[in-house]
Structure formats: structure tokens, C-alpha cells
Amino acid sequence: MKFTNGYWLVKEGVEAHYAAQGYEAEQNGGGLVVYAPCRPVRNRGDTLSCPVLTIRYASPMKNVIRVRISHFEGEAGEKLRFELSPVLSQEPMLPPEVIFLSSEEAVLQSGDLSVRVALGSGWNVRFCAEGRVLTRCEAKSTGYMVSRRDSHFRGDPFLEFPYDDSGPRSGSYVKEELSLGVGEFVYGLGERFGPFIKNGQSVDIWNADGGTAGDQAYKNIPFYLTNRGYGVFVNETGKAQFEIGSEKTSRAGFSVAGESLEYFVIYGPSPKQILENYTALTGRPPVLEEETFGLWLSTSFTTSYDEKTVMDFIDGMLSRGIPLKTFHFDCFWMKGFHWCDFCWDEETFPDPAGMVQHIKAKGLKVSVWINPYVAQQSRLFAEGKARGYFLKKRDGSVYQTDLWQAGLAIVDFTNPGARAWYTEKIGAILDMGVDYLKTDFGERIPPDAVYFNGVDPVFMHNYYTYLYNKTVFEFLEEKKGRGKACLFSRSATAGSQRFPVHWGGDCESTFEAMAETLRGGLSLGLSGFGYWSHDIGGFEGNPDPALFKRWLQFGLLSSHSRLHGSNSYRVPWNIDEESVEVCKLFARLKQSLLPYLKTLAREAYDKGIPVMRAMLLEFPDDPVCAYLDRQYMLGPDILVAPVFNAKGTIEYYLPPGNWTHLLDRRTESGGKWMREIYDFLSLPVWKRAQSLLFSFS
């Protein structure tokens, strides 16, 4: 959020109270507490009628420093923050050492990372590591802002947060700004589909069902990393707002409404080490069973299908030599107007248990779609209402909307009874033989609802998806066993990487959307998520043959691969016969890579490193790789450059080293740009020469 009007002024109606100096410091409970008045204190009179910010520095683990800035501390109850995980590293964590070097400076050291707070005149905080300053807070960076504007809702409260078009809404905010150096780039902040480098962008951490074509996102993660050796995690479940070199070009700013703000500075120094430390703090994904890495086929969304259609598609894939591992039933396995009641539409599927067993007899896993909403016509609505299992309005009535399913209510996952009730209903379909669940939606959560546990609904808007997916994933583990659970989830927040897999949401069937999808996946990988997928061919629209075949290549060289669309079947022979050959070739290629993919899954579990990696993760010292968002590394050894046009022309960068093409086996020395033309049965897919991978044949 921007509070200023240019360099000199604040916006009309805003009062700015900036930390002016480190006035006093003390060691407290293993941490460091600094008191920062919002004006210089030159005499006793200056201590009167002056806001003071209390800033606590502590370290939960080596090379990580937590900062909590607060103004008034008399707020009722504990503020909802993200669930942090135990440190997964076996290395013993040494307690941070607090050193008062002199009356002019206080230092907290954690491993190689330290925070150094100047005491006396001026506000100056430096985060340092191994003899260099990583980032710093200076004048007008740490602040308590008060807006006198009137707040209001604009539009549907399910989609919007209260705000004022011309400035921040009324109330108080705590803000922080960390310096950005020359040539410093910021990455991450969730699955974002716009420019890969976030400098110059304003980013709101507020989950929305907005597709992939704009600045809204399904997976907003208040974490970023930079190419200067550190990352920043803002531990706020509410609406954190980032100004990445946008309000001030040399600063990354972030703010939240209220009286306090907590963030962590996480040292690497490499991007991989930053992710390892961040995911040690917020959690890592489990190792998924190997079937999940194979090809998934979906019914698509609004298509008409029954058991015969489903079996024809499965048999068609297998008879054409396309290895298929999972079949997915999207929304209309349930009857329209009844979602979710977890009951098969009996008119279309008279023997669902038999059908599931027929599919499993083909050697496939079965997945079905669910969401956290219960339509008024569902058999579960009256039951959930009577038991108090839905979000409520302030007058005690059920919070309902017609947006999606008529009269839908929203399950309250802060209620233990509601969680048990919801999973009990899921249990019946799992007992039938269903293996995986697509946990769709979870973004349209009202910011003014009343929850069972009384939590502020603004803090729950993003956090709702965490509780939703945690409830379902842990129930799947309970029913199927550890290592057997798998979701296909759209919404996420910090820590949701514990409940994989996540897919990219509703993209258009265009080459532009294919590119924006890849940007989103690479940004999500730099936000702590180990696995990621997307709709091959795009969701909205019908892909032409060229687009579909190029997206097949990309999709089958992604972490997880799914054929899915909106109103058209995505079996490849419905597109053209060459699509069958492309699908078969690349599905077989992915199957040959399964031992390699399993090692990558283990690395995601052990260290939080994603399977699909932005080039900068593997080549952090190559300045070219800092910019690349149209190619990626599949693990440490395979470079993939999708083709984003019908003609097959491509320009991509091959980093230094010796490389072997995985399909045609030619060799190249890297450190150069490549300009080539590929037909639909190939694309740039190179392995490092020192890799132990075998060539595909």
C-alpha cells in the first residue's frame, strides 16, 4: 500500500509516524528489544505525547531473524499467524547471541546472519552476513500510519476487501521498508502470472478467483527472495500489501492493517539455501507416490459424460500406447445444484462403485472433484445449518451466496465438529475406492463472516485455504496411509506446500496464457512449493492443434501432468492424430524419467527445493539466468525450453557447460543463446553432460 505522495509528502488524510531513533535496547528472553520513538528525543519533554514502536528481534533457527514491530499491545487475544513447523534439519540450532557492542549499537547474531541496530540519533538497522550488508532500514522506513479516510466495500464482499480508491482505508497500519541495492531483483510472492521479476510491482496478498490473466492470484504467499542472498517472509495471514520498488524504487515495502507487523529475514546465501531455510520454517511437502507423476486425464468441467464415455477415453489412451496413471472426475460427478453433497449423480452413474473398480482394474488411480461449499439444495445443507457448521453473518444467520452454486454455504473449518463432519462425508467415496481429491476453490471467503473460534475474518480470508486443504489432506493420510495422499488444489497460502499438488487455475487456450502459466509456476516454486501442475491446452477455450501439441510437451515435462479443460474433452485424438503421437512420446519420456523424478521428490521433502526450477536456482551466479522465465530446469540436470508459437521457432539460453539433447542426442557447449526450429515431436530438452541420466529411446 502506498502511503506517500511522491518523495516529500504523505497522502491526504494520512498521519505518518516513523521510527526516528533507537532510543533504548535491552536483552529479553534470548532476544533483543529496541524502543524506537517516532521523533528524536533530545530532552525529557520530547518523551511526552510521542508514539513509540517496540521492535523485538529474535531467532527461531540458525540464519533466520524474526522482527516484530508493534505500537499498541493491548489488543484482545492472540493475532492469527501462520503455523510454523519444527526445523527439519538434523543440525543442532545454536541460540542467538545478543551482544551490546557499545552505547551506539546493539547486535543480535544468528549463525552467519546478524541484525545491527544503531542507538542514538537516526534510525538505522542493518541485516548483515559474512561481512556485507544484505539490506537495511533507514529513515522513513519503519512506521505506524494512521488514515482518517472512511472505508467502504466496493462490489461483491466475497471478492473485494474494504478499501478506498484514492488511499488507504481508515484505521491504523504498520509498515516496513527494506532497501534494494543496484541490480537487486525480487522474486516469489506466490503464483503470480505477471512479470517474473517483481521490481516495480504493487502486490496484494489477498486470494482471489481471478484466473491467470491479471494481477489477482489464487496462491498469494507473503514471501520473497532476492538475488542478493536473502529472503523475507511476512508472517501475517491478513492482507499484507507489498510495494516492490514501486512506491520507492530503492525499497521493498510491506504493510498490514492493525497495530503490529511480524516478518523474518532469512539468509541463504544461495537461492536454494534461502528456500531450504524458509521451508524449514513453514513446512515441506511429503514424498508423493510415483503414480502421481504420470499422466492424469480429466472429464473436463462442463462436458457430458457417463461411464461409457469414461471407459472409452481410458481404453482409447491405453490402446494408443499412451501411459495413463490417473482418471479424474470433475464437478458433474455430482448432480448440478447439489455441490457438494458427495453423492454420485445416480441418473448418470447408476453403479459408481462398480465403475470405480472397472477403472482401477485398468491399473489407474481415481480422483474426484470437491470444494468447501454446500449448496442449499444439497442433502447436507439442513444438517450443516442445524449443527452450526457453516460460516455465519453477524446476526447469526448462515452466510450464503448464489455465486457458484445456488444458496451455497461455506464450511467453517475452525469448528472441530465441522471438520469431522466434512471428512466423514468424504470417507464414503474413499471407501468406494477413490484415491485422490481435487480440492477446488477456497478463495471466495468473505472478510466479514463470523467463525466458530471467533477469529477476525480478515485474518481468515487467506488462511481459510490452509485449514481446508489440511483437513482433507490429513484425512486422506489417515484413510490411505502416509505417502498415499494427494490433492489437486487451486488455492493456497504460506505453508500450503505441505498439502500437494497445486495447479495453476483457469488459464486461456492461447500461447500467451501458456507463457503466463509458466511464469506463475516458476514464481510459486520460488515461494516454497515443491510440486505444481496446470491444465494442458489451457482451461478456457478450445486449443488449436499447434497450441495443444506445444502445451503437451510443456505439460509432460512439468512436475505433474493433467489433461483438463472447460467445455471440451482433452483426449488427444479429438485435436488431431499428431497430438496422439506427441502425447505418447512425451508421456513415455516422462515415464522413463520416473527414477529421476523420485529423487527430486525426495529433495523437495528434505530441503524444500522445487521439482520445476527457475534457471536462477541452478545458475545463481550467471547474470543471464536472473531474467529467464520462458525456460526452466526440471531438477538440477534437465533444461526445458517450451515453444510458444505455432511455427516452432525458439530462442533460448544454454548455460555454460556441456549438454546433450535428451531426444536427438546431439551435444552442445553452453554459455550462449540458441536459435532453432523444432517440429511437434521435439523441443529444447537438454541434460547436463555429467548427469547420470540415460538417454531416452
| 180-224 pLDDT, tens digit each | 999 999 999 999 999 999 999 999 999 999 999 999 999 999 999
Domain boundaries, given as residue ranges, for the chain: 4-72+96-267, 290-604, 610-688
Q: 4-11 long-range contacts, Cβ below 8 Å, gap at least 24?
A: 4/247, 4/248, 10/145, 11/166, 11/167, 11/168
The more confidently predicted of residues 162 and 104 is 104
Report, as an integer, the average pLDDT of 648-665. 97
Given a cut of 60, whether residue 239 has pLDDT beyond it is: yes
Report, as an integer, the average pLDDT of 424-433. 97
Given a cut of 50, whether residue 252 has pLDDT beyond it is: yes
> Which range among 68-77, 452-461, 511-520 shows the weakest confidence by mean pLDDT?
68-77
Can you give the pLDDT at residue 697? 58
> Which range among 394-408, 479-493, 601-615, 681-695 shows the weakest confidence by mean pLDDT?
681-695
- Just give the CATH number of 610-688: 2.60.40.1180
The model's confidence at residue 153, banded by pLDDT at 50, 70 and 90, is very low
Place of cell 470437491: 370
Report, as an integer, the average pLDDT of 48-64. 95
Given a cut of 70, whether residue 95 has pLDDT beyond it is: no
Report, as an integer, the average pLDDT of 43-55. 94
- Phi, psi torsion values for 676, nearest 5 degrees: -145, 170
> Which range among 29-38, 173-182, 225-234, 581-590 shows the weakest confidence by mean pLDDT?
29-38
Place of cell 527494506: 178
- Check if the beta carbon of residue 407 is closer than 8 Å to that of residue 377: yes
Report, as an integer, the average pLDDT of 297-311. 96
Distances (CA, A) of 540 to 265, 312, 368, 420: 39, 24, 20, 35
Pick among 1.10.1740.10, 3.20.20.80, 2.30.30.100, 2.60.40.10: CATH of 290-604: 3.20.20.80
Say if 290-604 and 610-688 have the same CATH topology. Answer: no
Q: Catalytic residues, which ones? A: 440, 443, 506
Given a cut of 80, whether residue 519 has pLDDT beyond it is: yes
Show the 3-state SS of 257-307.
ECCEEEEEEEECCCHHHHHHHHHHHHCCCCCCCHHHHCEEEECCCCCCCCH
Can you give the pLDDT at residue 565? 97
Q: For the domain made up of 4-72+96-267, give the CATH fold.
A: Immunoglobulin-like (2.60.40)
Q: What is the residue-averaged pLDDT of the chain?
A: 93
Report, as an integer, the average pLDDT of 147-176. 55
Distance CA 207, CA 487 (A): 19
Say if residue 91 is exposed, middle or buried (CB neighbours under 10 Å; 0-12, 13-18, 19+): exposed
Using DSSP's 3-state secondary structure scheme, residue 107 falls into: strand
